[in-house]
């Protein structure tokens, strides 16, 4: 097998569909082959060709502490000596469940799973079982994993690759999925007025992080909460990206809106493969073995992921953590806006906390319709220019740029300076 990224990619294409195990990693939308990663530490990442980058992808968000923080590594090393997987209950599961319930306002009980996709899929099933209703509402450009019923007008890789839906998902599977524009409360009200008694749930990214970064308009989340209360609909916040990222209690803490169920992703495992869903006790106790709604997973509550998550959450509880993330996020986004303002290209910068996105459009980006006006060709040129200058970004216009506690002010300043240079020529 080869010794550089190009040779490894050629070998991978013979063994793995498209040479990657998740489509957005293919770099097709930015016009180059992917760089294969060798290692990462703190704010830095190195490819197998020996190139060093400042990383603003953060494994798609969860590396809030930076890569390989010693506090997490110490916990993992200790657990590895005790075993990697048992398929049996552990004390760490209980401790992490307690930590998550303490932090996230909506969660009274929580079920650990192995991915964000599994969490959202299970939350929808639970909401349907709890309400004895079939339909649910999702929003254009919101990505909730790749389970069939949710893979309609989704964000993330589907937007990157220009796939509006996917073969293999039947019409019958999505017959009960209602898709509405994000940030359009009137559209939600109209649907619920017409068929609210058939709608089990509304699932939403409280801050859309899979069509770039699109914050909720003032009153949108509050309006969803009120409508769900009126019609007996379960409100689900998909906080796979925002959970522990925008606040310790996620977007629901930041905006002061408490859903009925919440889904969480890799952050609760310190970046290890893990997810969770949780919420009100009376809903969660519809799950087997207490209730009739079945959900199971052999790897759920993996002890290595549990101790890594506990160490991460303890670190995030330190005084000043989220103030520092807010400061760094504001510094990054503000610098990008200034850099774009002096360049001959229209851009819009959206930010919530330590996640940001620059769209190559002149329109305010508040939903998928406006996000889709972004010039993806210009983003690809921007991506390549930044990569050449040593900055690791998501290979897609429709993803977020993440700041971690490990990033220094000097690295953010260098990023802004490089962006100003690149934006003059894209």
> How much is the pTM?
0.94
Euclidean distance between CA atoms 199 and 195, whole angstroms:
7
How confident is the model over 44-87, as pLDDT tens digits? 999 999 999 999 999 999 999 999 999 999 999 999 999 999 99
The two three-digit tokens of residue 307, written as one number: 């101790």
Q: Give the residue extent of every domain in the chain.
A: 5-68+319-423, 70-316
Please tell me the CATH code under which domain 70-316 is placed.
3.40.640.10
Q: Would you call 65 helix, strand, or coil by DSSP?
A: coil
pLDDT score for 51:
97
pLDDT band at residue 165 using 50, 70 and 90 as cut-offs: low
* Other residues' Cβ atoms within 10 Å of the Cβ of residue 31: 12
Helix or strand holding residue 359 (H, E):
strand 355-359
Instruction: Report the catalytic residues.
Output: 143, 238, 266
Instruction: Using a pLDDT cut of 70, give the percent of the chain over it.
Output: 95
Statement: residue 154 has pLDDT above 80: no
DSSP secondary structure of 119-185: HHHHHHHHHHHHHT--EEEEETT----S-GGG-SS--THHHHTT-SS-TT--TTTTTTEEEE-TT-H
Euclidean distance between CA atoms 142 and 155, whole angstroms:
5
pLDDT score for 186:
97
Q: Would you call 284 helix, strand, or coil by DSSP?
A: helix
Average pLDDT of the chain, as a whole number: 93
Euclidean distance between CA atoms 147 and 149, whole angstroms:
6
pLDDT score for 159:
44
Average pLDDT over residues 359-381: 96
Contact 371, 359 (CB under 8 A): yes
pLDDT score for 161:
42
Q: Would you call 113 helix, strand, or coil by DSSP?
A: strand
* Other residues' Cβ atoms within 10 Å of the Cβ of residue 11: 13
Statement: residue 1 has pLDDT above 80: no
Give the residue among 234, 233, 235 at the shortest CA–CA distance from 216.
Answer: 235
pLDDT score for 24:
83
In CATH, which of 3.90.1150.10, 3.30.160.620, 3.40.190.10, 3.40.50.10190 is domain 5-68+319-423? 3.90.1150.10
């Amino acid at each position: 097998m080869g010794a550089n990224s190009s040779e490894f990619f050629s070998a991978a294409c013979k063994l793995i569909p498209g040479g990657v195990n998740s489509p957005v990693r293919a770099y097709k939308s930015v016009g180059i082959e992917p760089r294969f990663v060798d290692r990462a530490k703190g704010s830095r990442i190195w490819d197998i060709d020996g190139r060093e980058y400042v990383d603003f992808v953060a494994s798609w968000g969860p590396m809030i502490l930076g890569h390989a923080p010693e506090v997490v590594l110490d916990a993992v090393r200790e657990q590895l000596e005790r075993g990697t997987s048992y398929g049996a209950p552990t004390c760490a599961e209980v401790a992490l469940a307690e930590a998550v319930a303490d932090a996230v306002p909506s969660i009274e009980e929580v079920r650990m799973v192995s991915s964000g996709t599994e969490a959202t899929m299970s939350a929808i099933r639970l909401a349907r079982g709890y309400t004895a209703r079939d339909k649910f509402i999702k929003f254009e450009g919101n990505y909730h994993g790749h389970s069939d019923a949710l893979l309609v007008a989704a964000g993330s890789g589907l937007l990157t690759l220009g796939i509006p839906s996917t073969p293999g998902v039947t019409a019958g599977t999505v017959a009960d999925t209602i898709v509405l524009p994000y940030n359009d409360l009137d559209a939600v009200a109209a649907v619920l007025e017409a068929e609210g008694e058939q709608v089990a749930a509304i699932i939403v990214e409280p801050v859309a992080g899979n069509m770039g970064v699109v914050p909720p308009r003032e009153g949108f989340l509050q309006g969803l909460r009120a409508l769900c209360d009126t019609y007996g609909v379960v409100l689900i916040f998909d906080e796979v990206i925002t959970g522990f990222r925008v606040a310790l209690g996620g977007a629901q803490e930041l905006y002061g809106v408490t859903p009925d169920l919440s889904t969480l992703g890799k952050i609760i495992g310190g970046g290890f493969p893990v997810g969770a869903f949780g919420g009100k006790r009376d809903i969660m106790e519809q799950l087997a073995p207490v209730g009739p709604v079945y959900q199971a997973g052999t790897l759920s509550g993996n002890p290595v992921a549990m101790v890594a998550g506990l160490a991460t959450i303890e670190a995030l509880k330190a005084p000043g953590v989220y103030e520092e993330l807010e400061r760094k996020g504001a510094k990054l986004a503000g610098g990008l806006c200034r850099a774009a303002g002096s360049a001959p290209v229209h851009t819009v910068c959206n930010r919530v906390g330590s996640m940001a996105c620059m769209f190559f459009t002149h329109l305010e980006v508040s939903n998928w319709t406006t996000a889709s006006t972004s010039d993806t060709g210009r983003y690809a040129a921007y991506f390549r220019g930044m990569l050449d200058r040593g900055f690791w970004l998501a290979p897609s216009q429709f993803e977020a740029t993440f700041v971690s506690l490990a990033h220094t002010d000097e690295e953010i300043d260098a990023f802004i300076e490089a962006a100003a240079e690149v934006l003059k020529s894209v």
